Structure 1
Amino acid sequence: MVYGVYTVLLVVVNFSDRELLWGAGSSWTQPWRDESRWSAVPFGFFQPGDHGTVLTVKLIVLGVLGATMALGLCSRTSTIAVLCLSTGLVALGPTSSDTEDIVFRIVLVYLCLADTSQHLSVDRWLAARKGNDTSEIRGALIPRPLRVPLHNAAVELICGQLSIIYVMAGLAKLRGERWRDGSAIYYTLHLEQYSPWPELGHLVSGLVPIVILASWGAVLIQIGFPVLMLNARTRLFAVLAMISLHIGIAVMLGLSLFSLAMVGADFVFVRDASVQRLLSRLRR
């Protein structure tokens, strides 16, 4: 669902600049695009020569597929389609992303193998309405004996990928003097290119104890993330902490799509039982 929303936002946010990013005005990226490996089938839906109506229609197609994925309609098919189309699109315009497309693309590969339609999806609603076994919607495009093993493998791979990302990010921060002395976030909030709300950034950066704790906390939680996942209580704390971190990045630094991609991946650590409890409370 979250990655479907991400896809829709990728199209909507950049729609007004589509010609500059991917169309006739993007020829300045041509040397880079000539070396791109993502222009062949099945990623070649978007081509360097697309512009005007052709580009607009193709972007609308991607947006519709993203909405379909977000709604959980033909979940696996729409996920595969979004993976192929979005990969080719970002390859045409490297400035249209903040490297969040790397996480987005990796997780999408795993989601193609996972069952993403068991909760809050049109697929599940339609199956239940027809009186069918909702577990049957797992089977789209995947042979029955492989459904559960591949789903479980996909979940484990996403968990492992996130753990690697967070640990490596934490270790990289630890090498920086600003992170070690607790001032990294202060200086980050004063970067002009990452200041959607300069006044708010200056206000927060003036809260020195909070800035120091946040800087150290980000490093410690990222490095300790895999260990925190081993216990239910610490797992909840770590997931909430990382989601809070990414919300802060979205608000304070303006990297909203990056944060959305990471938060969407973080949700893999939320158990089915937790989702069921939440839905039960909402129905009351």
Structure 2
Amino acid sequence: MKTEQTPFVPTSPGRQAPRVTDNVKEWLRHQFGALHTALIEQPISLYAASVLRIGYGLLYLAFLLREFPHRDEIWGPDSPWTPALATQFFDLTGWFSILTLSDSRLYFEGCYALAVVTCALFMLGWRSRAVSVVFAIVVVSFHARALFMTDGGDNLMRLMAVYLCLTACGRRWSLDARRNRLRASTVYCASRSAGLGAPDLWCQLGAARRSLITVVHNCGMFVIAAQICIVYGAAGLYKVQGGLWGSGTALHYVVNLDLFQPWPMLSHMVDSQQMLVAVVGYLTVLLQVGFPFILFSRLKYVFVTMLFGMHLGIGVLLGMPVFAGAMIVADAVFLPDRFYRFLGRTWRRTFSRAALRRKGTTARTETPLVPARSTG
């Protein structure tokens, strides 16, 4: 008995093409939707931006207070690099500084006091939108006034001060965030009691303003991350070209320079460990060259931790605290917001437990001892 067999009909490529095309279109639509959400709808790295604000505000405030006794020799009217020389140099380079607008000592002291107050307000996050612009002007002005006394840390801090003007760095851990929370609760109660809605035009303008702020903030954070990657990549590739880093002897010559010996005994002790010096040199080049390529992997956290340790060693061993602090604060931009939220919860939990423990100890101390009543 013969069984009927269905003849094999080959599938033409034309029938599979629409299905593959639909999958590609769906994938592209999903990717563009995610990109649209990341750029326009949701601000990214708000905690990281706040860490940058607090870090650079505190660092420059400490720098100005540290150099307060020497302010006249560095930036004042009696500096060897006089305001007239600085103005002539600005005509050639295009720099500017508010410190060269007048030769009066009273004006200089007022600018210095304004710089100190601006750094403190910027660190605290008071009116961050306006204060961030003033902070950038202060950093650029002091940097340009003593341009030949700056180093890589000053250059990076100047760039970050300008970039932070684009970000919403006052949304978290700031006085602005506290004021916005109080205002939001007040507005919500008023709207509930009044029961009135806002006009559509004002709602649309508010939505457009929020979208614009989100786009500018996200672009600013992307620029900051790209700048750090360029700094590390360029520094690593520059080291690879030299023979000293290839032979592992570069750090030996660095720690033996008088300019980078704040503690000569410590420098000589480190230099005596030849294997350690060679390993640290090779590891430095590896971290700087490889960092831009591991940003989207879990190795990012290992690299960031090692970079923290490297910059801390630079600040202590080579006596470059401003450069080390500027790089450490900049590296914090690559840590996600969930990490900072975890730190915030841990901080609040620790202090709440300490407060409860202290309250309990105080209550036990202040409780009067009542003698037991005799029954006999």
Cα distance per residue 1:68-117 (max 9 Å; x no partner): 11111112221110111221122111244323222112222221111112
CA contact (8 A) 1:225 1:238 kept: yes
What whole-Å deviation, never above 9, does each CA across 1:150-204 have from its counterpart, x for those lacking one?
1111111111111111011001111121111111112111110111111111111
CA offsets 1:212-258 (integer angstroms, 9 cap, x no match): 11100000110001112121x21111111212111111111111111
CA contact (8 A) 1:19 1:25 kept: yes
For the pair 1:197 / 2:244, whether they are aligned, the reply is: no
1:34 to 63, 88, 102: 88
- 1:1-284 equivalences under 5 Å are 1-28=54-81, 30-31=84-85, 33-36=87-90, 37-39=94-96, 44-47=97-100, 49-132=102-185, 143-231=209-297, 233-284=298-349
Please give the alpha-carbon distance, in whole angstroms, between the structure 1 residues aligned to 2:175 and 2:57: 13
Consecutive unaligned residues in structure 1, runs of 5 or more = 134-141
Query: Partners in 1 of 2:221 and 2:56 — Cα distance?
Result: 15
The unaligned stretches of length 5 or more in structure 2 are: 1-53, 187-207, 350-376
Rate the CA distance shift 1:73–1:167 in 2: closer, same or farther, 3 A: same
Give the percent of matched residue pairs that are identical in Structure 1 and Structure 2: 29
Instruction: Report the Cα distance in structure 2 between the residues aligned to 1:24 and 1:65, rounded to whole angstroms.
Output: 22
SS in structure 2 at match of 1:149: helix
Cα offset for 1:48?
A: 6.2
SS of residue matched to 2:67? helix
Conserved? CA contact 1:7–1:62, under 8 Å: no
Q: Is the 8 A contact 1:72 1:117 kept in 2?
A: yes
Give the TM-score normalised by the residue count of structure 2. Answer: 0.68
Where 2:99 maps in the other structure, the secondary structure is: coil
Q: Which has the larger radius of gyration?
A: 2
| Matched AA of 1:223 | V
Query: What letter is aligned with 2:89?
Result: E
Please say if residues 189 and 205 of structure 1, whose CA atoms lie closer than 8 Å, have aligned partners that are also in contact: yes
Aligned partner of 1:138 in structure 2 is none
Q: Report the Cα distance in structure 2 between the residues aligned to 1:32 and 1:55, rounded to whole angstroms.
A: 15
* AA partner of residue 35 (structure 1): F
Work out the CA distance in 2 between the residues paired with 1:32 and 1:54: 17
After superposition, the Cα gap between the structure-2 partners of 1:48 and 1:251, relative to the gap in structure 1 and judged at 3 Å, is farther
Moved more, 216-225 or 8-17: 8-17
Query: In 1, Cα distance between the equivalents of 2:210 and 2:238?
Result: 43
Q: Deviations over 1:14-58 (max 9, x none)?
A: 21111111113224355454122232xxxx422164453321221
Bigger RCO (CA 8 Å, 6+ sep): 2
